[in-house]
């Protein structure tokens, strides 16, 4: 899976927004001033981009798993013609395993949300900037109704972070399903 590419795209998408928000902030009597107009634009952009990236990653992951499942079925059929015992040994329960994984992904199961230890800087920057707006916007009182929008944006960005975890776990699953050439000769 190209999660590194997706992570890079996410980073590219969020950093300009974060930089623009930081440039627009200037000091006032409290030491903090937040442009409400820029905050609105930034919050809305983060919300929509996070949702869009999450949707695209979900679709790509589901499509990729469907493709691999179909390929394994074909391989199982071909191998069972040559060596039914080896086919049973290698592909025992593979369709059910793919179905369970896809179900876990759709239901946000803990099995696929376990942390993989990968750090995505763009998501961290987005969450940090939203927390900053939430904390400091309440101090200056300039955000008004944006507090709920900030919470929505934070939940979308966190959902995107969860999607990265799911994708990383799917990659790990695919690595486990891969048969090395030396193992194939032992069958």
User: Which tens digits make up the pLDDT trace of 136-180?
Assistant: 765 555 666 677 888 888 899 988 888 888 888 888 888 887 765
What's the pLDDT tens digit per position in 77-87?
998 899 888 88
User: What is the crossing angle of helices 36-82 and 94-106, to 10°?
Assistant: 170
pLDDT at 27 > cutoff 80 = no
pLDDT at 56 > cutoff 90 = yes
What's the pLDDT tens digit per position in 100-122?
888 888 887 777 777 666 778 88
- Alpha-carbon distances, residue 167 vs 22, 30, 142, 151, 154 (angstroms): 31, 43, 38, 24, 20
Mean pLDDT of 15-34: 49
Query: Using CA atoms, how far apart are residues 58 and 157, in angstroms rounded to an integer?
Result: 14
Mean pLDDT of 88-111: 83
Residue 43 CB contacts under 8 Å (≥ 6 apart), including other chains: 130, 133, 146, 149, 150, 153
pLDDT at 3 > cutoff 80 = no
pTM of the entire predicted model: 0.68
Mean pLDDT of 38-60: 87
pLDDT at 116: 64
Burial class (CB in 10 A: 0-12, 13-18, 19+), 17: buried
Confidence tier at 63 by pLDDT (50, 70, 90): very high
CB 3 within 8 A of CB 168: yes
| Closest by Cα among 102, 124, 113 to 7 | 124
């Amino acid at each position: 899976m190209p999660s590194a590419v997706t992570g890079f795209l996410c980073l590219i998408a969020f950093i300009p927004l974060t930089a623009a928000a930081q440039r627009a902030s200037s000091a006032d009597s409290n030491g903090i001033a937040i442009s409400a107009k820029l905050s609105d634009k930034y919050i809305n952009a983060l919300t929509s981009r996070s949702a869009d990236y999450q949707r695209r990653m979900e679709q790509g992951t589901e499509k990729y798993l469907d493709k691999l499942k179909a390929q394994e079925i074909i391989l199982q059929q071909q191998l069972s013609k040559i060596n039914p015992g080896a086919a049973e040994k290698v592909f025992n329960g593979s369709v059910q395993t793919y179905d369970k994984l896809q179900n876990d992904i759709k239901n946000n199961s803990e099995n696929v949300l376990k942390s993989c230890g990968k750090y995505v800087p763009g998501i961290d920057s987005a969450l940090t900037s939203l927390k900053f707006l939430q904390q400091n916007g309440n101090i200056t009182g300039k955000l008004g109704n944006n507090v709920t929008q900030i919470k929505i944006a934070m939940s979308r960005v966190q959902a995107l972070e969860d999607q990265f975890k799911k994708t990383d776990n799917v990659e790990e699953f695919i690595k486990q399903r891969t048969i090395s050439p030396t193992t194939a000769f032992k069958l």
